[in-house]
Amino acid sequence: MADFAQEQLLDFAPGDELAGFRLHRFEVYNWGTFNERVWTLAPRGENALLTGDIGSGKSTLVDALTTLLVPQQRIRYNKAAGAGAGERSLRSYVLGHYKAERGEPGLAARSVALRDANTYSVILSHFFNEGYGQHVTLAQIFWMRGAQGQPARLYVVADRPLTIAEDFAGFGTDINNLRKQLRKQPHLELHDTFPPYGSSFRRRFGIGTPQALDLFNQTVSMKSVGNLTDFVRDHMLEPFPVEARIQALIGHFDDLDRAHQAVLDAKARIDVLRPLIADADRYDERLANREVLRDCREALQPWFASLKSCLLRRRLEQLEGERERTSMRVDRLEERRHVLRNQRDEINRDISENGGDRLAGR
């Protein structure tokens, strides 16, 4: 057990005490009562204890850090001080509301601000992963577009250390100049809405889903924990709509049952149609066979004609050979007749010369 406790999580880091991304530096400018200059906390990855009198700004700083990590619609400001909903807002932090004063009797109290709508505010957190030597800086810039309404904002995610004094100053009075100035910087992303900004920094931190940040938002200002089961159910588990889920399951079952019945009906119809399909297949097969036989029958006449032509050609060749042989025989017989005729004439001449005529006269 002791050997396991001494084993380090990262073998390439000197220790595991500062493993993972940790808050290295936190800065605010014109946020709440932190006015006109950059205010800095530098825990450098260590644990930090924030103390102070009531109203000294502890909850203001906690709300600034929450604003960097949690979507606006999920934040309840000044929760750490036990304030009710609506007591503080993003607008009050940007303008620096610090007290309420009454005017004429019977009128509602009016908030007094440290700043007007011509200023801007910045909150910034620099996180550092000592094990991997990685930096991530998150920042948000706020400004008022008019005397009323909520502030506009610009979201920044950078893979290097940033500071308010060096990177978010010296641009004049037009926020567009600051936007252009930031776009020129390397390893820096600008976003106009929270969802892509949140996805970007969650990917860098290795946070798979926003649920972890929801838990952070719910517990960052918690004063005490009562029943642990209720705490887990209320803060760590997402709401589960049981009735809606049951109705959805019933509806899904009904859909599956109707689909199953439709499949059974289709199978029954296929079984009924199967003999007809078999007859149609046999008909198509015999029809195709008939066409083949018809083609064969139509091909018989030229086939027999070709055979007859071959036989006649062979017969003509045979007759031509017999004619040549007969002609040669006739020639030989003609020569033989000529030879015999000459012999006959010679015999007759010899008879005549030897007194054959006298014998013939007697």
Contact, 139 vs 156, CB < 8 A?
Answer: yes
Give the pLDDT confidence score for residue 5 in this predicted structure. 40
Residue 284: pLDDT band by 50, 70, 90 thresholds? very high
CB 114 within 8 A of CB 9: no
Residue 241 pLDDT exceeds 80: no
Question: What does the pLDDT read at residue 53?
Answer: 87
Interval 116-162: pLDDT, tens: 888 899 999 999 998 888 999 999 999 988 777 889 999 999 999 99
Q: How much is the pTM?
A: 0.60
Alpha helices by DSSP H, listed for the chain, are 2-6, 58-69, 90-95, 164-167, 175-183, 194-205, 211-219, 228-231, 242-353, 356-361
pLDDT of residue 8: 47
* Distance of alpha carbon 343 from alpha carbon 338, whole angstroms: 9
pLDDT tier at 51, thresholds 50, 70, 90: confident
Domain boundaries, the chain: 2-227, 263-362
Give the gyration radius of the chain's Cα atoms: 56
For residues 214-232, average pLDDT? 70
Question: Does 31 score more than 60 pLDDT?
Answer: yes
Tokens standing for 358? 């006298």
Q: What is the arithmetic mean of pLDDT over 298-306?
A: 88
- The contacts found for 181-184 with CB under 8 angstroms, 24 or more apart, are 182/156
Average pLDDT over residues 277-298: 91
Q: For residue 147, what are its two tokens?
A: 């005397």
- Which segments within 130-181 are labelled E, that is strand? 134-143, 152-158
Does pLDDT of 82 surpass 70? no
Q: Which residues pair with 361 in a beta bridge?
A: none
Stretch 223-248: mean pLDDT: 72
Q: What's the mean pLDDT in 30-36?
A: 90
Give the pLDDT of residue 3.
39
Q: With 0-12 CB in 10 A as exposed, 13-18 as middle and 19+ as buried, what is 19? A: middle
Structure confidence by residue, pLDDT tens digits, 164-209: 999 998 888 788 999 999 999 999 999 999 999 999 999 999 888 7
